[in-house]
Amino acid sequence: MSNLEQEVNPLRPSTRDERGFFQANLRSQNLSADQDKARKNETACPETKQSKKKNKLENDCLNLKRTLLMRSSPKMVILKSAEDLCGKGFPTRCPKVPSTSCDPKFLTTGSFAGLILTCSLGAIIIIIASITFIWTPFEILMNERLRMVRGLPAYEWWLNPPDEVLLRVYLFNITNSEQFLNGTEKKLKLEEIGPYIFREKLTHSNVQFFENGTMTYRSHRTAIFLPEMNHLSLNATVIVPNLAVLGMSSYLWDSSFLTKIAFNLLLNRLDSQPIVASTVNNYFWNFTDPLVKVAKTLAPHLVPVENMGILQQIYHKFSDDVTVYYGPGNGRRFFTIDKFNGQSRLGYWQNETCDTIQGSTEGVTYHQRVKRDDVLKYLRKTICRVTPLHYTRDVQKLGMKAFQFDLPADVYAQPNDGVTEQCFNRPGSPNLPSGVIDASPCNYDFPVGVSFPHFMNADKAVYQKLEGLNASPAKHSSFVIVEPTTGIPMESRARSQSNVIMRSVSGIPRVKRFSDMFIPMFWAEYNQVGLPWYISALMYSTVIILPASQFYISISFFLLGLSITSLALVRIFKLSRSNSKTLCSYSSLDLLPPTPSTASEC
């Protein structure tokens, strides 16, 4: 080797001995490298025996593939026995058919039961949708309301009605009491003061249902003063008629001469005056006079109560047992009264037509499908009679069409045709002029007359000795606005005035100037101001939305049920065919072993 070659490749041995030494050294280095590699493989693949076993199984699988390819189609191998695919003849690494596909009994498992349930569900939806074409959802809801089922909205809202009724009370302050009593002025001058606003709370309890289509309950009403809505004080002083003196004087108008003398002596001794000053609160709730206490001691049957407060008289016993009709069979009689306090009549008037309560309601609700020619009858306990309401016009309320029914202008009039019987006059008492009716039977026989506020629509003889009255139909008429489909009142105003009926009391000097007068005590307005939003929303959905959309809802449910049933039946049919064949097909390529894993590479 030349010097140049040695310089170019200094690692190349120059002699044979040197080359032998170099080759031996190289073999020794290769052997060490192989040993190091083996140790690394043992460290990386501790399960060498298992890997070898897997490689052997893969080779068996390849041999099986070659055998099959030689004995059958080069593209497809069809095995007619599911067991050959599912574990007996194939090694672990060979592909397997899923057990659910190869099990001949798969249709008896949970999947089949689920399909049957799905199919049944679809059939039920179809049946329900078909029924709604005959009995619409609207009709079903209306009938359910008539049933008054406990727990449903119709029953629960009736049981505890929303606090939407306001009571407004107006008083008449006498401004010329001295001048009228001493005779310098012939007319009594009145000044209206109010309103004093209360909330009337109505509750129902002791509900009982009977098989004859009636239900009985106890209704109870109370009046709650609302300070936040009042700008007038209950402690203000007003000049008002002394109800004890004037009422007892009028009650004794036809008594014997000796009785009148005794009564005059009692008045003079107690110095009881026909007109007195009182606070508003006392006039409402705690009005009395020494004359009442003495008279109750002498003749308790003539003076049943000592407290003559005008609201106290109304609300101290405002609880009644009422029996009404209910149920789908009583659609036109829904919530009309069958009995009131156990009686089919009021018991105030001799004439049965005047005294009946049949067909009337308490005004909480009316029958469904109200018509324009219907006469709604409203029982007003405080005036001892049932009052009719007649249709006057259509109105729009809360986006719904409603009917307005008004109290007729002649409701307090006296018949003058000579044929119609006088209904609301006490036997033996002079007939009252038109515009006032006798309400004494439901006020302990106290001479109370009821009229429209400010004597609207009354004869002039009623108010000819009074000044300061100003009747107005807009302010003093009564009406109710009813949604005709459901019969639910949407707004109402019931207005009436209570008056002291003064008969001829010329035999009692202290009160003789009040003879043949009608002295206003107060007038009141019961105002249902509206409905809570949740009742209004349900009414709107029932009356407006549901009738317009129920056909499309029924169609949608019918198609939904049909789709569910069809899909379930198709699936059952396909699975049934697969079960009858129980064949499993595989491509011959599927028999190839998988790509060598990391373990095989080890």
Please name the amino acid found at residue 482.
V
Q: What is the largest CA-CA distance in the chain?
A: 176
Per DSSP (E only), the strands in 175-233 are: 188-209, 214-225
Return the closest-CA partner of residue 539 out of 492, 493, 491. Answer: 491
Label residue 392 by pLDDT band (50, 70, 90): very high
pLDDT digits (tens, 9 = 90+) for 318-371: 899 999 999 998 888 999 999 999 998 988 888 888 888 988 999 889 999 999
- DSSP assignment of 73-131 equals -SSEEEES-HHIIIIISS-TTS----HHHH-TTGGGSHHHHHHHHHHHHHHHHHHHHHH
For residue 207, what pLDDT band results from cuts at 50, 70 and 90? very high
Going by pLDDT thresholds of 50, 70 and 90, the confidence category of residue 59 is low
Q: Give residue 580's pLDDT.
A: 60
| Residue 235 per-residue DSSP state | T
**Separation CA 563–CA 126 (nearest Å):** 10
Q: Is the pLDDT of residue 445 over 90?
A: no
DSSP H stretches of helix in 148-229: 153-159, 177-182
> Is the torsion defined by CA of 9, 14, 20, 24 positive or negative?
negative
pLDDT band, very low/low/confident/very high, at 555 (cuts 50, 70, 90): confident
Give the C-alpha separation, 169 to 148, whole Å.
34
Please state the rounded mean pLDDT for residues 536-550: 84
Reported as a single tens digit per residue, the pLDDT across 331-343 is 889 999 999 999 9
